[in-house]
Structure 1
């Protein structure tokens, strides 16, 4: 009880803190009450729902259109603003749900207060410094200066010189996904004795789930026949599917002796309606024909339809015809029991309910437009005509605005077709990976042509109006026989002298029917071989393969070059031929590379050379690979002052399995001390490099040896003499 009291106090404080008047945007309380989990509160384009967490705490979710906006924990007194919505939660009751206060930000529309001004169905009758009298739907309202009042879906404020209008959003609470809206605009009618009146009652389920509609007459005069009917059958309850409308009739038969004022009450689910019925005495033929309409003026957005109910009754048998005159390019027609009609036959005492439907074009001009209705009654007691003028006030138009075409391209199984070509007039577009295309176009009529390889071409005419967003789905059918071939790469690498690796090829059957494909290769060099296999390991040759519709198969190509083939690039062509005669040719480039194996041997790895002399040796070069070795260069590195000659120094090319040789001449300068030396030999080619060295043992000539021995003897004798001399001392 304490929580409920706090919730009421919270709502009161919010209402008290509201500014009474503002000529700009303002927040208005549009809903106060409880919301149970599962209930949906619709406020204009926004929906508000309450959900419980696994711990029982309530959360508020705010959604705009089809996308979630935000959510927050519904702590007592917390508040959240999201765009034009402000939600403040109160206490939570396990039976009633969560108490919430919802504010909506509305934008002002100012009108100079002067008599005769008409806007949004309001007409200013009289203006003083302190008051303004306004007429709306047949009612007169007096508004004091610096005060405000709600009228229907509007909030009016008067500043003393200006009337400020705020349009409030539609607020609907639906349970478990259902949103039931009952439309019955009649509040008072005048009839004649003996008449039978049929008044339409429209019940719309804006939710997504089926609901049960219960209908009943609560009270009516004792001798009157009153009932709710659907297609001529009196009902008590009916199931209404989501997103659908039920058209009922409130049928009232007035006795011949009826007179005075009477009241009829009926209910649709929990909503109760009261109809005041005045019974008049007929005064003549023309006065006996009754034409009644509750709506004369409607505010309509361009591109929408307006519906004006029209009730006609006669005291005698008669034929009633209706003629309509609407502005140029507007569509207007009359319906009876959801059928387009222009003439009906009416029995004595009965009444008929017409709906005058006016379709407003999207390029309609702003302002008021008249629809003239002519009613002709021909009966046994004479003929009369009556005229009625309806007014449609267009408050929003799309005239001159580009239209948007949202195109979805699907195949005959309903799957999206990406990268399809779409031609509209002289422009060509393409669908994205989801098969969608969105394009802006000038209003008009277009032919849309959709094409893609493997599909039959499809055409469709479309008419786009000003500012219209039109969604269009075009189905293109798969060709009976069509396929694509895909390879793992554009280049097939092969190495001479080694086993060729398998080259994967995928054939995808995109046609409607199963198909068989023959396989072939063209452009293969002489003495080369090729084969197709089912798997990389298989050695069984494949010449054709079957592929089911919508599936793919992978085969493998193996190419065997001839033993004397030269490395390089070779172009071959894969040919796949369908049983339907369709042929696909896929170019493949073979990159043939060889094995480079250069082997170098020296005839002598040790040379003995006397200083001042020279010697020769041979170097042998072999190509044990499968590819030619090119640009072979031989160089030597020796001690300083030595002379090394190589002949030849370069060899342009060495073919596989062929040897070659070169001569190396080494000259040792005179005076080179005896000893071991190294001469480094390097062999370089474009493909490989080799390094090694020759050990050179240098000797002196014989005379030089003798002189050396003599010098050694003299040195030895000198040492002995010195020892003796020193020893004597």
Structure 2
């Protein structure tokens, strides 16, 4: 009855339309569409009460039998009969200048559930009905999935690439998909003949899980803290690793003894997150966000103690790798930007302990006869770090030290300098000498300071030392002043040279002498005597403030007159004349007396003695004799007169 009505309705439309109007009838199955003047008309679905869902220009219209809608201006669409068994509907188009697009395919594809949700690595299966509305034949089936997906078409338990269908026959196939780890909504296109059906797969979750048994830890500022992360994935996948840390913190991932930035997962894998907490971190809680691919988790660190503003301690142990002994006396320096910040020397146990502000330093360790070691170290405030350094002894190395490289003397002296030569290298060595002395001076290197036999080289065993002597002899014509000599010592083993410098300060000699002309005088009591005294400069340097001192016998109670009183300077080889005049008191008894004359300068003095014989003048000797004789005569008279009793 409905078919009759449709035919009648179509005839009615045809007879009532204008001469230029056109009428088309078309049958669409569920999911099929047709283009009408560039507008897509799609049959979406139908209901049991006979209504159909038709989509025009992206708008869905639910229509009953006989309902009409406008497709474009001047072209209308009317719903005709609905076939439940074939899931088809008859549509009637009428209007002017109708342009029909490509006709629907004879192969119909439909799925009751064309959109599904799954997780990475899990199979998702779509059941699709393939109906042949055309002629009998083989219908090829192809599925197109996103790159990296596992996709196949099954009929029963067998994978197929097509089905054979008679006209009007329907077959069911299964589209099996396995998506990778990345979440999102993805289209999968199934082609059967010239028909296509788009299936939608929504992948939820990243597919990677991060598990940490101890996600909250406590640490002291300046220390490291580690978290053991268990990463898992149901499908093999390589994921990048990343971490978000508080400002100034550092973090690295460690796996298999190496630092890593990504990991390949096929099941479970363990990765260590090593976090360095800066020493100036304040006390408190700090979050750490860890990512593995699209998976994320949050860890926490509680800083229990801060070391802001404190120094760090570095303990350096210096070792000789060949002997196994620690090396004392090694120089240990910490440098920053080429400047020494702190330095120390190792003690008898080869250890040096130094403190420095937090930062990165260049550690330099040096020791005579050993190679120099440089390292870059980091000092952390409030923490202690121990650094072991191996210094290897050099095959050839020596030291040469002058014990007293500067000496003073006077013309005529011999200058002797002692040198200690040490062979600190691993091997025995011979050392040659090249001595440069002042012009006109005698110079030699000897092993005996009293010897004048020079030597040009010396052999010294490893670990031994020898004493040498540099002898400098000035000529008689040398002027007063400083003279310089240099000794170059060369190692035959390494070619290394060392130069020692010597200074000889030559000063003049000082000497003074006097000559009174006479060394004995005979003077009558009460008379004066005059001496002409000569003073000689017997040295090589000038004498200053030259004068005479005259010491007369104490009981004379008189002083000598000296002319001149003094001379300000008496040069080399010069002679000064002084006049000395003194008087012998009249009451002085006759006899021999001593007069001392001294020549005195700022630099030296000399003394001479003169014997002075004092006599009595004017018959005084006879008077004395007469007195004695008178006394004897008087004594004789008395004896005669009184006799002996």
- Compute the TM-score of the two structures, normalised by the length of structure 1: 0.45
- Compute the TM-score of the two structures, normalised by the length of structure 2: 0.49
Which structure is larger by alpha-carbon Rg, 1 or 2? 2
